[in-house]
Structure 1
């Protein structure tokens, strides 16, 4: 018996050694392939930082990181690398060899090249995006899909985001905006520092919950299991710029993420079953174009010539749950950040705030207590706010909440204005929206907040360059929810900007949390840090007061 156990132990040890050796050989082969790719690119004279055959460009990152805050978003570091290493006779682009942390990358900071990658060629979303979105959405989703599957899903949800339908949602959005204003009043009475980003995230969770599930989550004022699980999942999400291996490989993370997913999936499944029961009882109750109803409409269309099942198909329920989770994440995360940056920039530019308030007075009258009622009864008035819209667009230019990524293809080259051609095969193209939208080659006074550039006529030096503004991307894969996002921010500003003075409290925050580390990017203390999408640093600490009229 002892000899048999010894033999088994030897077999197990041998199997373990073979597995380790196989993994080592695999990694060695992948590493050699990545380094060989960059050796060839360097031989062709492609723009890149100083390169090492053993370490690639890993040595190029630490000097850049020393000049930036530890928690800054990764695009800031890659933008700095691009600025430092782009060639004078080429457009804003570099190749980066970050293996084993990432596949070969093209970092694009040029609108000319961005247009080609996302519009002219319509290149696919790369597999690397699954690692980011799967913990949040739970599986293959509208953002990461490609080909016919993506086209079918996109067509299914299109009508839920038409301009006319979004305008019809104004009353639901105003309901949640009034709760948001009430909470801001409470903070004004307390007079203490609070996180505007945190409060605004819960607000937008309620907005997207109403639009997606056609029901109120009330997460701004009480516990909601769906909203809380999603917000908790974002906090536990590991990001690509996390270099601390203890955090990156935290053994508790898989269990916490599984529990959060279970909470979200259970809640959404109950909603799907409830809506399906309503559908089977009264088809007239299905006229809503919320995301959950559009998903069910697609399912029912597939069942048209079949006996109606008593319960939803499990495969459909799983698919619909993933798409709903994606809409809940994307719909609240980026919009909440944009609202914070609108307040930040308006506070820093009182002349712009005065213009915005004056425009709101003209359209909605000076009695701010009537504003919510007017928006409900006459939502079309929100389309008569060109300066307010310009403020939002300029805020999104300076602080876009995300970037874009596409997968390179054999035989596909990007070409700049000077005729330089850049091969895309074997790379992931990262279009850095923040870098594209602040590129001084294409934007006059690129780092300045100038809403008037969105009111300029063609021929004016301020007139935006084609393809240069990309917070919602362009082309077939543009953001489905962009009309809703703009509508959300507009309603929020109209309802709050004339009632409150919101001032950041970074000076006080830094006195309470002293550090010798770098705490600004491009001179901005409210730099963007990664938390799902890009959010203002330290949660945007602020104080708020009721405005004196």
Structure 2
């Protein structure tokens, strides 16, 4: 080989060596800054809070629903309402507060956003929907989807809620007809053990299919329906994902394309099925709406129709593409189906644990008049009957108390996180005693730097003894009879006076939809059935994206489930 070649090779090797040394040096500097320099400049280091070794994390303490109520109570006693804990180690200070002024500031200020990690993880499964948008884009989407979730719009969807709730009631009644007699009930009535979580999930999926897309998933009758099956398989994989897999998805997403494992392949197949079906629904619905000309006097009240009509009413430059519309609907399907299903499931579980409450609630529901017919969204007479029935159910005070108490005790979302996009001053309403001995008094501020994480303990606030009293961790619907008028008492935070729907600009836009659906399903099932715990089975809470039920010692083998014993109610 020529001398020139070897000279070129030598220069290239030196260049690679220099580049490698530069990259290594930058890596070392980054690590030194992360572990040594930045923590010493972090104002959160002065806040009180639990200590630990260099790489000790408190993630288990703040994410495990089995222990967080006790951990939070102990931390509040030791450190006050506002403190810091360790994220990935002693260098990673994270703010947590039970001071509603702090939480209100963080959830209301444009300074704080969902971390890119959270948005990326949700976006991978749901697209860029309203729940992982921020800033002006988030406000624009909220304005666009607002008409789909007004009180009037939700009332127009109640015939669907009744229709599917009654289908579920009839399916369970048919299963009881084939059940054998059991000696565990003195009445000698047929009893069946049903996975309530599974059945309720199928029901709410069907409800949102009709209310959201005007599409019949028929998941209650056919679990192999491709969209429902794809959705369930995808989230089953997500729920069981290890921390290592999540980190790989966040920081090395290219690996899923280069070396996909079976879970990666299945997830991509599921996403393809869901998107192909969704795009077809959007295109066909737009054609129907456009055929109505510019007045958009279409009688359909599903969310997709309302979104498309609202979208077409915008200036062309502000309109969403079909892909963006689908992302919004995917987000609603997740929030409106899964989270609502979990609240109904947990409500039935709590009623089974508190039979006196179940009896009182059933007696109240039985005072409402029965609907004249099985409602249909295209039958105006049935729709009117359903609307009146929905109003009657909405007016039941004890049902409202039971639903709110369920949302308070077991919110579908355990907690959420925000990140500061700039340095900020956060006002406090309760004193914070710093490690230096100084006191941050009421109406003063604590400092937080850009990039710091703030943990919002949704369940923690819901179960705080400082707000709800010494029995805060107990299921007690009667507490709602003595609370101040909603929205007039800052002591009881959030939408519907609980943090389960969050509050301010990032509160759940579909909370009315969810509350109405929950109440109608409960009011349809309870007059027909008695719910009891299954002997020998202990139910636990599994905190993934949402808080799901499982049978203790059966999470790996049985997955997400909540078996209950069901018998017919006989007066």
Shared fold per TM-score greater than 0.5:
yes
1:332 correspondence with 2:337 = yes
Task: Give yes or no for contact 1:159–1:289 (8 Å, CA) kept in 2.
Answer: no
Query: What is the CA distance between 1:234 and its match in structure 2?
Result: 0.8
Shift in Å, 1:359: 1.3
TM-score between both structures, scaled by the size of structure 2:
0.78
1-structure distance, mates of 2:540, 2:130: 29
Q: Which moved more, 1:104-113 or 1:337-346?
A: 104-113
Q: 1:215: which partner in 2?
A: 215
Of residues 119-128 and 379-388 in structure 1, the stretch that sits farther from structure 2 once superposed is 119-128
* Alignment-derived partner of residue 497 in structure 1: 526
Deviates more, 1:117-126 or 1:344-353: 117-126
| Distance in 2 of aligned mates of 1:12 and 1:228 | 54
Q: 1:228 to 1:83 in 2, by over 3 A?
A: same
Partner of 2:196: 196
SS at match of 2:472: coil
Please state whether the residue corresponding to 1:467 is helix, strand or coil.
coil
Q: Partner of 2:539 in structure 1?
A: 526
Q: 2:478 matched to 1:449?
A: no
Distance 1:287 1:375, change over 3 A: closer
Tell me the residue number matched to 1:301. 313
CA distance in 2, matches of 1:455, 1:213: 38
Q: Distance in 1 between matches of 2:200 and 2:480?
A: 26
The two structures have a TM-score, normalised by structure 1, of 0.80
State the alpha-carbon separation in 2 of the partners of residues 354 and 43 from structure 1: 50
CA contact (8 A) 1:135 1:237 kept: no
Aligned residues: 506
Matched position secondary structure for 2:333: helix
Alignment of 1:267-346 (within 5 A): 267-283=277-293, 284=296, 286-302=298-314, 316-346=321-351
* CA positional deviation for 1:353: 1.4
Tell me which residue corresponds to 2:141.
Answer: 153
Whether contact under 8 Å (2:239, 2:545) holds in the other structure is no
Q: Is the 8 A contact 2:39 2:45 kept in 1?
A: no
1:357 equivalent to 2:362? Answer yes
List per-residue Cα deviations over 1:86-120 (Å, max 9, x = no partner).
564621543323169x9753233444432232246
How far off is 1:496 after superposition?
0.5
Alpha-carbon contact 1:272-1:292 (below 8 Å) kept: yes
Between the aligned partners of 2:354 and 2:93, the Cα distance in structure 1 is 41
Q: Which runs of 5+ in 2 are unaligned?
A: 180-190, 250-259, 376-381, 433-439, 552-560
Which residue among 428, 434, 450 is the counterpart of 2:459? 434
Aligned twin of 1:185: 173
CA distance in 1, matches of 2:246, 2:21: 22
2:392 alignment partner, one of 381, 395, 403: 381
- 1:219 deviation in Å? 1.4
Say yes or no: does 1:254 pair with 2:280.
no
Partner residue in 2 for 1:29:
30
Distance 1:293 1:359 in 2: 36
C-alpha distance in structure 1 between counterparts of 2:285 and 2:386, whole Å? 29
Report Cα offsets for 1:471-503 as digits up to 9, x if no partner: 111112111010011101100111001111122
Is 1:390–2:390 an aligned residue pair?
Answer: no
CA RMSD of aligned residues (A): 3.9
CA distance in 2, matches of 1:185, 1:38: 61
Q: Are residues 99 and 209 of structure 1, via their aligned partners in 2, closer, same or farther at CA, if it must alter by over 3 Å? A: farther
Structure 1's 112 and 155: CA in aligned 2 closer, same or farther, altered over 3 A? same
**1:193 is paired with a residue of what secondary structure?**
strand
**Which protein is bigger by CA-based radius of gyration?**
2
Residues 207 and 371 of structure 1, relative CA distance in 2, 3 Å threshold: closer
Q: Which moved more, 1:198-207 or 1:375-384?
A: 375-384
